[in-house]
Amino acid sequence: MKFTTLAIAIGLQLAAAGALAGESVATVNDGHASAERAPDRTDLKVRMKMAAMYISGAGVEQDIDRAIAIYEAAAAEDVAFAQYRLARIYLDGELLPPAPARAFDWLQRAARLGFVDAQLELSRLYAEGRGVDADDVEAHKWLNLAGSLGAVGTDERQAELEARMSFGDRVHARYLANKCKMNRYEDC
């Protein structure tokens, strides 16, 4: 009885993993690509988990290209987490050569979807001029937006930025952040 229950549970997990990763159950079992896709977005968590597994090699053979393909497919559907993960891959330089400009583009997309971690990282890139021209007003704006969504530690970082900004730049940064919020991140 216990073995049957376990076998059914494993079978369901494999089916879910395959369907949610956009693959057939046969794909999960034999590791070959499939054109089948799950019909809806309920698969998101599993797709993200599969991509993470391909990056780490946990339970599967490490395959960075496949992980990136999974993240890119989700990113094309405006999944902010996938956009953020792509940005981290291109920014960190651990898996691929660093590409800060490419990371910046993915961070912008995720930040405009309200993804707090992307907003914090985007603020840092603007403050440091990494992958983009340094711009304290933009750095402050994104830090302000992340703080308004509950990010921790933004007050200290804002104080550091404000110490090197003029009064007019601080006011302008707050104006841009408020405009961004009012327009639901459309004009950020």
The dihedral through the CA atoms of 96, 98, 69, 50 has a sign that is positive
Q: Is residue 74 part of a domain?
A: no
Q: Is residue 112 part of a domain?
A: yes
pLDDT tens for the 188 residues of the chain, in order: 443 333 333 333 433 344 334 443 333 333 433 333 443 556 899 999 999 999 999 999 999 999 999 999 999 999 999 999 999 999 998 899 999 999 999 999 999 999 999 999 999 999 999 989 999 999 999 999 999 999 998 999 999 999 999 999 999 999 999 999 999 988 88
pTM: 0.76
Q: Is residue 59 part of a domain?
A: no
CA 28 to CA 16: how far, in whole Å? Answer: 10
Residue appearing with tokens 């985007």: 122
Structural domain count, the chain:
1
Domain containing residue 129: 107-188
Task: List, as one string, the DSSP characters of 51-94.
Answer: HHHHHHTSSS---HHHHHHHHHHHHHTT-HHHHHHHHHHHHH-S
pLDDT at 35: 30
